[in-house]
Chain A
Amino acid sequence: MRGGFEVAELLAAGLVPCLAYAVLGLPWLRPLGIQARGAERLALAFVFGSGSASLAILLLRALGIPLPVWGVGGAAGLVLLAGARLGRGGASALPAPGWARGVDLASAALAVLTFLVACAPETSWDGFEYHLPLVTAWTEGPIRAVPGLLDAEFRAGVDLLYAPMLTSGFPDAAAAVSAGFALALAALVRGEAGRRASPGAGALAGCFTLLVPFSVEAAPTSYVDLGVAAYGFSALRFADRWNRGGAAANLAASALCLGFAANAKLHAAALCPAVLALVLLGGRRPSGRALLRSAGLVALVTAPWFVKVGITAGNPLFPLLPGWLGSGPTDARNLELRRLRLLANYPVERDLSGLARYLASITFGRSVHVSGLLGPLPLALAPFAWWRPSRASLALLAVGSALLVLNFLATPALRFGGPLWPWLAVAAAVGGRRVARSGRAARAVVGAALGLLALHHGVVTAQRYLPRIAALRHPTAYERAMFPDQDNLRRMVARADPVVGIPMGAVSWMPQPVYNLLWERNGELYFVEGTPPGPALALLRRRGVRSLVIDAEPPHPADGRVGHALVDAWLARGRAEIAEDVHPLPARGQRVWVLVRLVSTETRR
């Protein structure tokens, strides 16, 4: 149980870096001609600040320079001392009605709640299996190739923002960065919808952005999808500003955001041709020189990651083009299997009916894609935004549709289409305002729909968020309740000789160094029947593995085996032994966790 002071330390560890990232973005605002005001301006400071801070962290951690929370806070203090200020931006916004201020207050309360629950323990699978372990490895040592951790070869621009929290011993606070991106997205949607519809519609769109299941599920995790969404949406937004008569600085701002998005996840590089198409089709074609300058900015911002991955994986585009550029220490077949596995993760036919099913599932389905939902408001209200679209709007629609089809074909999951969904919120705001202006009955129906959905989303949010508030003081009890089998795995690992091989799981919970036996994570070992036992054991020994905690189903391990072909082969050859002195603990279903010790060569002699 944490005391009050420890909880305060935890919250500070989450808050200080996020505020620091926003402060580090302040110097960008004036050169980029950012006209936004208030919360939207602060959100853009966070977008530019986090993207540039991530590059600075990449450089500093490559040199092995530690990055505690106070260090990042100190850097932000220096920026403030140097005179950086948020400023006021452009002309005043249109006056908001009184009720909109009430909605903004609700959004502010929701923002505080989102930040608090983000500081509760990580219980999302990708978060504790590789996002946090990856940054842990890069805070315990410099940024480098980490054998047995394939994810260390992918872009990790958002992951690196967790470094101050992990360096300072507060891994639970890492997801505060995701909460920061959720808040930034809400503020960006509020500003954009406020301009295109009305300040009241903008306030509602911002509030619902925080309240929809997509944000509620992603904000308290160290998944990086909200960051990609914020960078990608900003890139499209600035390009659209240019199309609508904005200054040339919008092109530079868009290019920077494109670079940050690609640094966070390489698949977001697909936004580069999309943004290029947007400005070429939007009716205000930039000069070749301006396009070259923007391309140069993208290259400049993404270059550090190309260099890093080129050095550690041997292929600067890793994991792309392994046949031409090589796959480094990773078996090329492993990469191909990962690709196939990704496709198999989303079993929907890639045709028109599949597209319809996908859209229905992310709108109000049962979220089979572990991505949350958009909720029904875009479908209910956005169609009414259609009215004599300008060329810029048509270009945006065309590019957005193409990106949606790409999202559907490649990885049909909501969280991989993050840059697109804020546009649906904006369109819903415009459409909703149109309907609400269509008479008293229409206003009543829109009000009732918004009220019902706010109530429903609010109850779902409370069910998910409130237990996490209690978890700030009682993190272990919360983890134990969420994943009892993983807690038992943690207990078994505590009694094993490190490094401990585990089949997969909550790596970041483990009290000792572990080696993930899952081929998708380690990139080098297929822990399955058919793999030659001798070379597999030699590989584990090279990685320092001395014991395994394995899940076994009855009649194992009473029959002297554990049901995993490789381990059973080692047991049969006397190269491993089941630890009789450590009692198995329950895993999932009928399975139990069993400790297996690898017999060292010296012992056998």
Chain B
Amino acid sequence: MPVEPPSDPPPLSGVRLVLGLLWISAVVLLHLAVRELGVNVVP
């Protein structure tokens, strides 16, 4: 049973939303590049 209401941050919009979507895409693509393409940018 929740003892407090779910965290409900407001939706993103404008520049924040665009930057946010770019961030998500970049992190996921970097992961795939490192793991599958052998891109050597992290230890």
Contact = CB atoms under 8 A, between A and B. Distances in A.
Interface string B1-29: 11110110111110001001101110110
Contact of A245 (B4, B17, B28): B4
Nearest to A446: B24
A365 interface: yes
A438 B24 contact: no
B13 to A, nearest CB: 7
B1 A361 contact: no
Interface string A49-72: 000000000000000000000000
Given A439-B11, A453-B31, A360 B2 contact: no
A380 B7 contact: no
Contacts of A361: 42-43
A380 B42 contact: no
Interface in B24-42: 24-25, 27-28, 30-32, 34-36, 42
A283 B1 CA distance: 21
A196 interface: yes
Nearest to B25: A445
B23 A380 contact: yes
B27 A376 contact: yes
A245 B5 CA distance: 12
A379 B21 contact: no
Contacts of A366: 34, 42-43
Contacts of B28: 376, 380, 449, 452-453
A364 B9 contact: no
Interface stretch (A102-110, A152-160, A429-437): A429-437
Interface stretch (A314-322, A329-337, A381-389): A381-389
A265 interface: no
For chain A, which range describes its interface: under 10, 10 to 19, 20 to 34, or 35 or more residues? 35 or more
A144 B37 CA distance: 51
A438 B13 contact: yes
A375 interface: yes
Contacts of A434: 9-12
Contacts of A474: none
Contacts of B43: 348, 357, 360-361, 365-366, 368
Given A364-B30, A376-B31, A380-B27, A357 B42 contact: yes
A192 to B, nearest CB: 10
A443 to B, nearest CB: 10
Given A35-B1, A456-B36, A196 B7 contact: yes
Interface in A349-381: 357, 360-361, 363-366, 368, 375-376, 379-381
Interface in A229-271: 241, 244-246
Contacts of A98: none
A469 B32 CA distance: 27
A244 B3 contact: yes
B21 A441 contact: yes
A76 interface: no
Contacts of B12: 384, 434-435, 438, 442
Interface in A150-201: 195-198
A91 interface: yes
B31 A384 contact: no
B5 to A, nearest CB: 9
Contact of B31 (A90, A368, A375): A375
A195 B42 CA distance: 34
Nearest to B1: A90
Contact of B6 (A195, A368, A446): A195
B8 to A, nearest CB: 8
Contacts of A197: 6-7
Contacts of B31: 363-364, 375-376, 453, 456
A197 to B, nearest CB: 6
A364 B24 contact: no
Contacts of B4: 244-245
Contact of B9 (A89, A348, A385): A385
Given A197-B7, A246-B3, A364-B34, 6 more contacts: A245-B4, A360-B43, A363-B42, A387-B10, A441-B21, A453-B31
20 contacts: A197-B7, A360-B43, A361-B43, A364-B34, A364-B35, A364-B42, A375-B31, A376-B30, A384-B12, A384-B20, A385-B7, A385-B9, A388-B9, A430-B9, A435-B20, A442-B11, A442-B21, A449-B25, A452-B28, A456-B32
Interface of B: 1-4, 6-7, 9-13, 17, 20-21, 23-25, 27-28, 30-32, 34-36, 42-43
Interface of A: 35, 89-91, 94, 195-198, 241, 244-246, 348, 357, 360-361, 363-366, 368, 375-376, 379-381, 383-388, 430, 434-435, 437-439, 441-442, 445-446, 449, 452-453, 456
Q: Closest 9 CB pairs between A and B? A: A90-B1, A387-B9, A376-B31, A364-B31, A438-B11, A380-B27, A360-B42, A438-B12, A35-B1
